């Protein structure tokens, strides 16, 4: 899905502001990641919901989803995040 959408998004950048384009791409990536998460979680067997292991090594679907969401938020800032760059600030490379 991403491979199909990327060229369309890239072509649309000629018509919109770069910041708006970045927001659109992040929203598309986030939406697809959530869709994939839902598909994978719903396909997991019941034993995956019960989990295995003990203590901090215990893993189950809900804990895996917490790790997934944390990684997704690290890679793509959630909408309206204070960490997300806004239009008033420019990021500079030192």
Q: Mean pLDDT throughout 62-90?
A: 74
Closest C-alpha among 67, 3, 65, 58 to residue 38: 65
For the cut 60, the answer to whether the pLDDT of residue 85 exceeds it is: no
* Least reliable range by pLDDT among 26-30, 43-47, 66-70, 80-84: 80-84
Q: According to the model, what pLDDT value does residue 26 have?
A: 92
End-to-end C-alpha distance for the chain, whole angstroms: 36
Q: According to the model, what pLDDT value does residue 12 have?
A: 85
Q: Which DSSP string corresponds to the chain?
A: -HHHHHHHHHHHTTTS-HHHHHHHHHHHHHHHHHHHHHHHHHHS-HHHHH-B--GGG-B-HHHHHHHHHHHHHHHSPPTT-TTS--TT------
pTM of the complete model beyond 0.75: no
Percentage, residues of the chain above pLDDT 70: 85
Extents of the domains making up the chain: 2-75
The CA distance from 4 to 26, in Å, is 15
Confidence band, pLDDT 50/70/90 cuts, at residue 10: confident
């Amino acid at each position: 899905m991403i491979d199909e959408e990327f060229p369309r998004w890239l072509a649309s950048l000629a018509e919109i502001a770069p910041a708006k384009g970045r927001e659109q791409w992040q929203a598309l990536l986030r939406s697809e990641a959530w869709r994939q998460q839902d598909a994978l979680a719903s396909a997991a067997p019941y034993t995956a919901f019960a989990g295995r292991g003990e203590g901090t090594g215990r893993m189950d679907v809900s804990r895996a989803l917490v790790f997934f969401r944390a990684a997704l938020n690290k890679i793509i800032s959630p909408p309206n995040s204070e960490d997300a760059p806004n239009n008033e600030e420019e990021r500079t490379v030192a």
